[in-house]
Amino acid sequence: MNDKRDRLRRLPSVDRLLSRKRAQELVQQYSRELVVDSIRDCLESSRERILEMRGGDYDEAELLDDVEMRLQLASCPSLRPVINATGVIIHTNLGRTLLSDAAQQSITTLGGAYNTLEFDLKAGKRGSRQRHASQLLSALTGADDALVVNNNAAALILILSALAMSQEVIISRGQLVEIGGGFRIPDIMGASGARLIEVGTTNRTRIADYRAAVTDETAIILRVHASNFKQLGFVEQASTDELTSCAHEYGLLAVDDLGSGTLIDTAQFGLSYEPTVQDSIRAGFDLVCFSGDKLLGGPQAGIIIGKAALIARLKRHPLARALRVDKLTYAALNATLEHYRRDEALDCVPVWRMISRSLEDIEREASLWAGHVGGTVIAGESAVGGGSLPGATLPTALLAIESSAPDRMMAHLRACDPPVIARVSAGRVLLDPRTVLPQQREDLLQALKSFVAD
């Protein structure tokens, strides 16, 4: 107890810290009020750590380091670019996937000019914004038509609200998933006004279970792809061909919620096979929905493709206006889809460029980093992430930096401009080149050097 009291007494006062030259420089850079508030917060945090036996003495230099770090973080916009050195390619907390150069340029061009969002140049009168991506999506997937809304959960709500309001929707118990943020498929379906009919068990659902559940009130057989988890062992699910055949036999609609959605075969990169959007259309699903900002590699969007008559009904539904996307989303989405049409997605779409990046190239980059800042290059794994390809990893090379205070190093990297986000394992800070862009190399190395110098 006396030791705690002694350490608490040794903490400097606000006025003492404020009188230091470095604190006065911070006052000139920010303001006296902000610096005083930051000093008080740092001192309070130090007191709490001492009382909880989580820290020893804090000298004035360390405290002023924390004060400056807090001021820097407080003065920065809350939404800002970072360097993702975690190796998680689709990192939901860091904005999911990156847009291609062409998509970024399209946003800049169309965002800075009046445009044809809802204007038909040929007719010289108002047009529909919903036409902009439909032709490209149809050409790439083989679907009749397409509609874009603001995310995939919205796509599912629109489908169920427009086509199954107050009717039954049959789904396997093993597909009642929870997506990011605690949102659950049953809750989403309930919000649509559709009545959920669960069939089968958590691990096994056969086509006979679907057949037994069909009534005069049934409108849709729904498949939800498990894109954010994997079942192993004694499991079984009805095939897509079985589901579509069953639905059509009873005059029902077959709908496939693919979640992440991909236009490219993932197996060619040593990953597990992920059903493609084209597979679902070929299997006979009447409607298919998926995300625009995961494996597609475009902006946040929910994409619905399928039968023209059904898409037309969705477009006329009141929710379609509430869920519509703006000109910037269309700009980025169309530019992204063009990469697929030109067969250049692996080179131009960042998510695919990172997935297909060779191990040799990553090892060279990690070795280059080690040559500048020290550390050891070790073997590791990158994750696809973002609710796509659950558990799937790619071999990578990591820069491992030993540190007596890895948490302090991580905090320092996050306080850099731009912030660097890494990961810690076994007391080492690990950085993965797979998700670091070439133009970010110098900023990354400077951030690492600044910690060593500090």
Return the CATH number at 142: 3.40.640.10
pLDDT on residue 373: 94
Share of the chain above pLDDT 90, in %: 65
Whether 235 has a pLDDT exceeding 90, the answer reads no
Question: Which amino acid is present at 150?
Answer: N
- For the record, the structure tokens of 409 come out as 């190093």
Nearest to 394 by CA among 267, 293, 265: 267
pLDDT per position as a tens digit, 192-216: 889 999 998 878 889 999 999 999 9
For residue 28, count other CB atoms closer than 10 A to its CB.
9
Confidence of residue 17 (pLDDT cuts 50, 70, 90): confident
Q: How far apart are CA 358 and CA 242, in angstroms?
A: 38
pLDDT per position as a tens digit, 297-352: 999 999 999 999 999 999 999 999 999 999 999 999 999 999 999 999 999 999 99
Q: How far apart are CA 255 and CA 405, in angstroms?
A: 51
Query: For residue 61, what are the domain limits?
Result: 2-75
* Cβ burial 5-14 (10 Å sphere, 16+ → b, else e): eebeeebbee
- For residues 91 and 129, membership in a common domain is answered with no
Sign of CA dihedral 58, 64, 70, 73: negative
Of 313, 344, 375, the one marking the end of a domain is 344
Number of independent structural domains in the chain: 3
> What average pLDDT is seen over the chain?
90
Of 302, 327, 344, the one marking the end of a domain is 344
pLDDT per position as a tens digit, 183-193: 777 888 888 88
Q: Quick check: 179 and 209 in contact, CB under 8 A?
A: no
- For residues 207 and 121, membership in a common domain is answered with yes
- For residues 331 and 398, membership in a common domain is answered with no
Given the DSSP bridges, would you call strands 168-172 and 195-199 parallel, antiparallel or unpaired?
parallel
- For residues 449 and 340, membership in a common domain is answered with no
pLDDT on residue 233: 65
| Structure-token match 């900002």, residue found | 293
pLDDT on residue 316: 95
- For the record, the structure tokens of 94 come out as 């860091």
Residue 52's Cα: distance from chain center in Å? Answer: 36
Confidence of residue 179 (pLDDT cuts 50, 70, 90): low
- For residues 288 and 391, membership in a common domain is answered with no
- For residues 317 and 270, membership in a common domain is answered with yes
- For residues 395 and 297, membership in a common domain is answered with no
- For residues 239 and 338, membership in a common domain is answered with yes
Confidence of residue 228 (pLDDT cuts 50, 70, 90): low
For residue 121, count other CB atoms closer than 10 A to its CB.
8
Q: How far apart are CA 186 and CA 163, in angstroms?
A: 17
Return the CATH number at 376: 3.90.1150.180
**Phi and psi for 218 in degrees, rounded to 5?**
-80, 135
- For residues 61 and 151, membership in a common domain is answered with no
Mean pLDDT value across residues 353-368: 97
Residue 93's Cα: distance from chain center in Å? Answer: 6
Residue 99's Cα: distance from chain center in Å? Answer: 12
pLDDT on residue 46: 83
Whether 164 has a pLDDT exceeding 80, the answer reads yes
- For residues 439 and 365, membership in a common domain is answered with yes
Given the DSSP bridges, would you call strands 204-205 and 236-237 parallel, antiparallel or unpaired?
parallel
Mean pLDDT value across residues 142-162: 96
pLDDT per position as a tens digit, 22-73: 889 889 989 999 989 888 988 888 888 877 766 556 678 888 888 888 888 7
Sign of CA dihedral 380, 383, 389, 390: positive
The more confidently predicted of residues 444 and 386 is 444
Q: Quick check: 135 and 305 in contact, CB under 8 A?
A: no
Q: Helices (DSSP H) in 165-276: which residue ranges?
A: 185-191, 207-213, 240-249
Mean pLDDT value across residues 130-141: 94
- For residues 147 and 281, membership in a common domain is answered with yes
Whether 372 has a pLDDT exceeding 70, the answer reads yes
Of the chain, the end-to-end C-alpha distance in Å amounts to 33
Least confident of 231-235, 353-357, 403-407, 444-448: 231-235
Least confident of 56-65, 77-86, 94-103: 56-65
pLDDT on residue 376: 96
- For residues 127 and 247, membership in a common domain is answered with yes
Mean pLDDT value across residues 416-426: 93
Confidence of residue 13 (pLDDT cuts 50, 70, 90): confident
CA Rg value for the chain: 27
Of 308, 327, 344, the one marking the end of a domain is 344
